[in-house]
Amino acid sequence: MTRRRWVPEGTDQDVPNVARVYDCYLGGSHNFAADRELAREAVEMWPDLPLIMRANRAFMRRAVQFLAGEGITRFLDIGSGLPTFGPVHEVARVVQPKARVVYVDIDPVAVQHSRLLVADDPLCAAVEADMRDPAGLLGRPAVAELLRPREPVAALLLAVLHFVTDEESPARIVRELTAALPPGSALALSHGSREGRPDLVEKHEDLYARASAPLTMRTRAQIVALFDGFRLLEPGVVYLPEWRPQDPASVGPHPELFSGLAGVGLKP
Strand partners, 155: 76, 187
Assess if residue 187 is contained within a domain.
yes
**Predicted local confidence at residue 13, as pLDDT:** 82
Q: Please report the sign of the dihedral spanned by the C-alpha atoms of residue 230, residue 186, residue 81, residue 149.
A: negative
Write out the residue range of the structural domain in which residue 54 sits: 18-242
Parallel, antiparallel or unpaired: strands 100-105 and 186-191: unpaired
Assess if residue 93 is contained within a domain.
yes
Assess if residue 264 is contained within a domain.
no
| Per-position pLDDT tens, the chain of length 268 | 444 456 666 677 889 989 889 889 988 877 889 999 999 999 999 999 999 999 999 999 999 999 999 999 999 999 998 877 789 999 999 999 999 999 999 988 889 889 999 999 999 999 999 999 999 999 999 999 999 999 999 999 999 999 999 999 999 999 999 999 999 999 999 999 999 899 999 999 999 999 989 999 999 999 999 999 999 999 999 999 999 998 888 888 889 888 899 999 999 9
Assess if residue 167 is contained within a domain.
yes
The H-assigned helical ranges of 118-233 are 134-138, 141-147, 170-179, 198-208, 220-225
Domain count, the chain: 1
Task: Give the span between the Cα atoms of 72 and 211, in whole angstroms.
Answer: 35
Assess if residue 195 is contained within a domain.
yes
Task: Give the span between the Cα atoms of 201 and 216, in whole angstroms.
Answer: 9
What CATH number does residue 68 fall under?
3.40.50.150
Query: CB–CB of 59/157 below 8 Å?
Result: no
Q: Among candidates 29, 57, 35, which has minimal Cα distance to 207? A: 35
Assess if residue 1 is contained within a domain.
no
Backbone angles phi, psi at 188, to 5 degrees: -110, 125
Q: Among candidates 24, 30, 43, 38, which has minimal Cα distance to 212? A: 38
Whether the pTM exceeds 0.75: the reply is: yes
Task: Give the span between the Cα atoms of 159 and 1, in whole angstroms.
Answer: 27
**Predicted local confidence at residue 3, as pLDDT:** 45
